[in-house]
Amino acid sequence: MDAINRIAAVHGLWVIEDAAEAHLARYKGRPAGGLARMATFSFYGNKIFTCGEGGAITLNDPHLELRTRTLRGQGVDPGRRYYFPVTGYNFRLTNLACAILCAQLERREDILARRREIFSLYGKHLKGVPGIGFQPVAVWAEPAHWLYCVTIDEQAYGHTRDELMEFLVREGIDTRPFFIPLHRLPPFREESKKRGDFLPVTEELGRTGLNLPTYNSLGDDEIQEIAEVIRRHAREE
């Protein structure tokens, strides 16, 4: 983010931080959501803190805050009831959704502690499985423990990521692949080809990355079982 912000400053660009899954993560001691001009968070059902859907914007510019509040609240002038100086949108979270979020934030230390335990147990039980790659964490980073991510080296593991996913489904374990890289999706694919984009690391992660079940009520025995199934399938014919 430091490098991105420096480049943006040189060229007079805004930086909008995508912190959708980075609840309470920290970058060089600074909280995610406070690293750029503004940031967005998601509260979709699989996030660390959730109210089912919706999200939040964080910023520290009072003029931008007023503009954002006006746009998300149907364009109503905050100082004049039922007066609409601009065309706005109905992007507000409901009071009920906010109450659910507030209750979770009050328990944030317990929630984060359990997430850290889940990550630690996965690392312990998957250690030494051939072909399983783990997500590195920089020394200056304090990650958000959202989904436990691994990569699958087909040569070492004996199966592709997708073959492992199919096997896990047959064992009653649901997983999800990493996101498909943006430059491979239809809205961006043709322009990417024209530019001659070459992104081998991105494409390798998109091809081999796997997210394992990660939620607060996941039991220790369930984590061990998932890991044992993955270990058992390694090198199986």
The topology under which CATH files domain 108-233 is Aspartate Aminotransferase, domain 1 (3.90.1150)
Confidence check: pLDDT of 77 > 80: yes
Q: Which residues pair with 133 in a beta bridge?
A: 151
- pLDDT value, residue 236: 76
Length, in residues, of the chain: 237
- pLDDT value, residue 123: 97
Burial class (CB in 10 A: 0-12, 13-18, 19+), 152: buried
- Which residue bears the tokens 């949108």? 89
Question: Quick one: tokens of 197?
Answer: 């984009």
Q: Which CATH class is domain 2-106?
A: alpha beta
Tell me what percent of the residues of the chain surpass a pLDDT of 70: 100
For the chain, the structural domain boundaries read: 2-106, 108-233
Q: How confident is the model at residue 78 (pLDDT cuts 50, 70, 90)?
A: confident
- pLDDT value, residue 235: 77
Q: Look up the pTM and report it.
A: 0.89
Amino acid at 20: A
Q: What is the pLDDT of residues 178-232, one digit of tens each?
A: 999 999 999 999 999 999 999 999 999 999 999 999 999 999 999 999 999 999 9
